[in-house]
Amino acid sequence: MSAREMKGLHADPRELNGSGREKTSDDVHLARLGKKQVLRRNFGMLSMLGFSCTILVTWEGFTCLFLQPLTNGGPAGAVYGFLFVWLGTACVFVVLSELASMAPTSGGQYHWVSMLAPRSCVKFLSYISGWLTVIGWQATFATACYLTGTMIQGVSVLTHPDYTPAYWHPTMYYWAVVAFAVGINIVGRSVLPRLEGLILVVHILGFFAVIIPLVSLAEITSAKDVFTEFVNQGGWSSDGLSFFVGLIGCVFAFAGGDAAVHMSEEIENATVIVPRSILLSVLINGMLGFGMAIALLFCLGDLDTALASPTGYPFMEIFRSGTNSVGGAATMTSIIIVVCICSSTGMMAATSRQLWSFARDRGVPGWKIWSYVSPTTAIPTWSVVLTTTIAALLALIPIGSAVAFNDLCAMSISGLYLSYILVACLLLWRRVTGCISKTAEADEIVNTIGARLVWGQFYIPGIWGVIVNVFAIIYALIVVFFSFWPPYAEVELETMNFSVVGTVSVIVLSVFYYLVRARHVYRGPIIETSPL
């Protein structure tokens, strides 16, 4: 890096930015990372906490994905699997929070890799990390919209038994959810921070609105059945193997933990609020999710009847049999659907911002278009449009093959967790070799390619930080490994998990594009600040 570029990263708090307003401390932090402030900081602590919590939507997500841990693991497997996933996710989120406090940019993982990796391979590893995050978030957004759409169809089946859904109906519901997300992100973008704060209230109060009538009216099973009954309907060689295969349902209930990271350049006091909102969201969602898991298991009723529900979702049958009311079950399900629809708006925002940031650093074909930020709305308009187009096209897959789309869902886990593993391993290496300082000069460039590494305001020092870091890597490796497994040992075309093919194919294509084109234009995070 030239002296002129290094000088250009020094930020004077008195300097005016491109919009003519005085720079804030957030602008200064961003300038020290080599980036200009171009997005508007509309999110505070409450709105970002709502954003993080309602993207995770753990109790809602676990409820609708209840089938996976029930099939492989059973009631006891669901309980202990949830606790294991909660602990592992918390450790992963701690690592992400430490990195977000060091470098709060919308790029997230690929920026962190660029600042942590050895100079000899920094460009390539950063590029691969960027693409893993891109496919992970694009798949996560598509999956969330699809699950919400099929839940809308499920409640239609519940309330109208004579309704026969056609194979293309889920796609129409899916598109409706995507349209709502686009509307909030573009037309009503100023409403997004307020909406997230409001949905946080609905997210928490909705939990009690569902769990109170369920446990009050349903027949309660014994604690022995809940905490000791393991089920291996997948036909695996052991209950232990079945347990790990069934973990993925719990894992997806915590998917999207790095969403706040990709909104960093739209958050006030990002170095503090991003780590705080990430950790509070896993705490709040973990408690609500575990409470709902226990309630569902104690009110399970007949397991085979729940698994055979015509709605496609066992929890709807549990609600119906527990309350002995179709109307009550539909109302409780509607609360979950409303929160999930609103969650899609946050996922759209995080997905488009991550794509925009990677395009800004020339990691995506057509980066000049996707990195455009509207001067009137201060949002990456074309990145939102591209994300919408990708999601809309992916909605066509279930028309031909629901199995193919389910494999796409698994790619959301493998893509994101592979990016987590990469940054966590690099952070552990830097941590144990003592390469990260505690303080830096006020005008010193830090935490970017070739610059000094400095801890942010949040980090876990000493041996405890190492232990958390190591466990996060081990847990993420387990998640990625079992995300490629099918639900049944005897594999047929309808039950085969092809997500490993999709994930590896995207990686191979990105490497091919890197060798042909990207290595000539991608240099890692670009220095944008002007020399003083």
Q: Is residue 2 one of the residues assigned to a domain?
A: no
Residue 506's pLDDT is 83
Which of residues 266 and 411 earns the better pLDDT score? 266
Q: Is residue 176 one of the residues assigned to a domain?
A: yes
Number of domains the chain is built from: 1
Q: Is residue 532 one of the residues assigned to a domain?
A: no
User: How far is the C-alpha of 216 from the C-alpha of 386, rounded, in Å?
Assistant: 47
**Quick one: what percent of the chain has pLDDT higher than 90?**
57
User: How far is the C-alpha of 169 from the C-alpha of 153, rounded, in Å?
Assistant: 8
Q: Is residue 527 one of the residues assigned to a domain?
A: no
- Residue holding tokens 């200009």? 36
Q: What is the pLDDT of residues 306-333, one digit of tens each?
A: 888 899 898 999 999 999 999 999 999 9
Q: Is residue 295 one of the residues assigned to a domain?
A: yes
Q: Is residue 24 one of the residues assigned to a domain?
A: no
Domain extent for 105: 33-520
Which residues, in sequence order, are CB contacts of 139 under 8 Å at separation 6+?
408, 409, 411, 412, 415
Q: Please, what sign has the CA dihedral across residues 78, 81, 87, 89?
A: negative
Task: Please determine, for residue 480, whether its predicted confidence score (pLDDT) is greater than 80.
Answer: yes
* Collapsed DSSP state (helix, strand, coil) of residue 310: coil
Q: Is residue 11 one of the residues assigned to a domain?
A: no
**74-102 vs 462-483: helix axis angle to the nearest 10?**
130
The closest alpha carbon to 447, from 8, 111, 119, belongs to: 111
User: Residue range 109-124: average pLDDT?
Assistant: 93
Contact assessment for residue 255 and residue 266, using Cβ atoms and an 8 Å cutoff? no
Q: Is residue 158 one of the residues assigned to a domain?
A: yes
Residue 73 DSSP symbol: E
Residue 404's pLDDT is 61
Q: What is the DSSP string of 422-447?
A: HHHHHHHHHHHTT-EES---TT--BS
Widest CA span in the chain: 73
Q: 515-524 — which CB contacts under 8 Å span 24+ positions?
A: 517/365, 518/127, 518/362, 518/363, 519/123, 519/124, 521/362, 521/367, 522/123, 522/127, 522/361, 522/362, 522/363, 523/123, 523/361, 523/362, 524/110, 524/114, 524/122, 524/123, 524/126, 524/361, 524/449
Mean pLDDT over each residue of the chain, to the nearest integer: 87
User: How far is the C-alpha of 89 from the C-alpha of 84, rounded, in Å?
Assistant: 8
Task: Please determine, for residue 488, whether its predicted confidence score (pLDDT) is greater than 90.
Answer: no
Which residues, in sequence order, are CB contacts of 397 under 8 Å at separation 6+?
404, 405, 408
pTM comes to 0.90
Angle at CA of residue 200, ends 199 and 203, nearest 5°: 80
Tokens standing for 460?
């876990």
Q: In CATH, what number is assigned to the domain containing residue 159? A: 1.20.1740.10
User: Residue range 159-176: average pLDDT?
Assistant: 91
